Homo-oligomer: A and B are copies of this chain.
Amino acid sequence: MINFTYHNTTKIIFGKDTESQVGDEIKKFGNRVLLHYGEGSIKKFGLYDKVIKSLKDAGLEVFELGGVKPNPRLSLVKEGIKICRENNIDFILAVGGGSVIDSSKAIGIGVTYEGDVWDFYTGKAKVSSTLPVGVILTLPAAGSESSTSSVITNEDGWYKRSVGDNIIRPVFAIMNPELTYTLPPYQTAAGAVDMMAHIFERYFTNESNVDLTDRLSEATLKTIIKNIPIVLQDPKNYEARAEIMWAGTIAHNGLLGTGRIEDWATHDIEHEISGIYDITHGAGLAILFPAWMKYVYKKDIKRFAQFANRVWNVEIDINNLEKTALEGIEKTKAYFKKIGMPVSLSEANIPDDRFEEMAKKAIENGPLGNFVKLNKEDIIAIFNLAK
């Protein structure tokens, strides 16, 4: 186990009707709120009215910026920064999923920084302060409600880049599983893949002796794997929605990475695909992760066999651990398929003519990943395994 620091300050407010507490929670931090949201689904199901009422009841002044798209754009972030500055806004409320939260985080760090907010995403500047950001989560997937990261797409060149710092963890996350009842099956499943991928990125490590985090990771994966088919059948199953929602936070709040060296190559590769083709992040991960696993598993067959056994209940063949390992990878892929995700680039209508370009862009800042270091040729090979 390697040395680590873990400091997760996000207050989780979980359960039925918790969104009505939002005004009182914000009041502890500020008075002038930017309400940031997506393309209007919050208005369809009554959530918007409920939130506005809570904010007004708490005596807060509310400004609004909707229109966040999946793979949130830098241009809207800049618009948000402008609104905050012009109106002396002191709190940002994200109502939505990972895209809205990531956009809110970007606005938060942008407002207090004199330069171009994109500097944080290229590594040119380091985050040192932010406006406080609060969250009402409507799509469990990205884990951004309690994470240290924000991923933004710069339309100028379609670069999708991330920034990570403890400072940008939201101050609170309100999580009512009922708000996820209306999620379409595709979004539900893509969310599950995103959660599972966050765990995979931490699980496949070269750090030995990581018993506790291995087992906590397996526990979280098993919970997601069990509950997703339940909600795909029965979208208003509160208990299963609750398990998934809380699991999505645990998957990416940093706990499962403590003491380990994490990987993140597959996420980085996926960013190149979704940067260009605008595919749902979770779908991109469903395509890429089994391919990545097949490409790298020989680095640590025992770890992949453990994964197969403990997560997918594959019996360990002690005379052929490689077979066990490969069965685990196949089970992963079959599960993604079963819950309605694409598992090849062709299923997602992604052609094979830009592999070279994407791979080149992916390694602009050096090779990807830590479990196995990936260079351009490796990434192209993974694209080919995912064709």
Contacts and interface: CB of A to CB of B under 8 A. Distances in A.
Contacts of A215: 218-220, 222-223
Interface of A: 1-16, 18, 208-209, 211-212, 215-216, 218-220, 222-223, 226-227, 239-240, 242-243, 246-247, 250, 255, 258-259
A243 B211 contact: yes
B3 A12 contact: no
A5 B1 contact: no
Contact of A227 (B7, B14, B18, B211): B211
Q: Across chains A and B, which 9 residue pairs bring their CB atoms closest together, nearest first?
A: A3-B15, A215-B219, A209-B239, A7-B11, A6-B12, A212-B223, A219-B219, A1-B242, A211-B223
A16 B211 CA distance: 18
Contacts of A16: 3
Q: How many copies does the complex hold?
A: 2
Given A6-B12, A12-B6, A246-B259, A1 B211 contact: no
A16 B259 CA distance: 12
Nearest to A17: B3
Nearest to A18: B3
A3 B9 contact: no
Given A7-B12, A215-B220, A218-B219, 18 more contacts: A1-B15, A1-B239, A2-B15, A4-B15, A5-B12, A5-B13, A7-B11, A8-B8, A209-B239, A209-B240, A209-B243, A211-B226, A212-B219, A212-B243, A212-B250, A215-B219, A215-B223, A246-B258
21 contacts: A1-B15, A1-B246, A3-B14, A3-B15, A4-B12, A4-B14, A4-B15, A5-B12, A5-B13, A7-B12, A9-B9, A12-B258, A14-B259, A209-B240, A209-B243, A212-B219, A212-B243, A212-B250, A215-B222, A216-B216, A246-B259
Contacts of A243: 1, 209, 211-212
B9 A14 contact: no
Contacts of A239: 1, 208-209
Nearest to A10: B7
Contacts of A11: 5-7
Given A216-B219, A220-B216, A258-B246, A6 B14 contact: yes
Nearest to A221: B215
